[in-house]
Amino acid sequence: MPSGRTHDRITLWSFPWIVGLSFFMTRNGELTLIVASAFLFSGLMFGPDLDIYSVQYKRWGMLRWVWLPYQKALRHRSRLSHGFVIGTTLRLIYLTIALGIFGGVVAGVAQLLGWIAWDWSVVGEEGVQWVSTHRWGAIALWVGLELGAMSHAIADSVNSTYKQIKKKGLKTVLYEPKKKKRRRSPKRKR
């Protein structure tokens, strides 16, 4: 698995390509900015390695505690953390729920103290309305996050394949039938 510095270099070297490709496909500076910003955020802070004590995890600083339940729930390099589409989607859902709970508690306390007047039913309606109004921006955000995560997962996969070729030779990567292990039945005591 590449080091955190290697992943950072991959993100930074890929960044101009992401900006160019994004602008070429959208012809929209705003959407390009969203994709590019999300790509950098994902590559440097929101990538698959949040499931371990990593450089990405450390960059959350005082907020890194948010990721502790995520780390406890997922095995490193599982499909749920490093898988295409599902990894980014799961992290996004997790962070949205965590921020929602935290924001809800803060807003609830502020409402109890009389600092704000809060109508909880309006919050959900406005959130849905905002997403429907800005759906292309939301899609651009998700695409940027996914591209950042994909660059990480692909680098991990390429590195693992390279190490396997170096250790076992090219034949094992191209085709090696898996040997089935026979289960031995435990001997029964009479």
Q: What is the pLDDT of residues 33-65, one digit of tens each?
A: 999 999 999 999 998 888 889 898 999 999 999
- Asked which of 100-104, 124-128, 149-153 is least confident by mean pLDDT, the reply is 124-128
Q: Is residue 190 pLDDT above 60, yes or no?
A: no
Which pLDDT band, with edges at 50, 70 and 90, does 172 fall under? Answer: low
> For residue 73, is it within any domain?
yes
How confident is the model at residue 179, as a pLDDT?
63
> For residue 85, is it within any domain?
yes
* Contact between residue 40 and residue 11 where contact means Cβ atoms under 8 Å apart: yes
> For residue 125, is it within any domain?
yes
> For residue 48, is it within any domain?
yes
Q: Is residue 137 pLDDT above 90, yes or no?
A: yes
Q: What's the Cα-to-Cα distance from 140 to each of 10, 122, 187, rounded to whole Å? A: 21, 26, 60
> For residue 132, is it within any domain?
yes
Say how many domains are in the chain: 1
How confident is the model at residue 186, as a pLDDT?
65
> For residue 176, is it within any domain?
no
How confident is the model at residue 173, as a pLDDT?
64
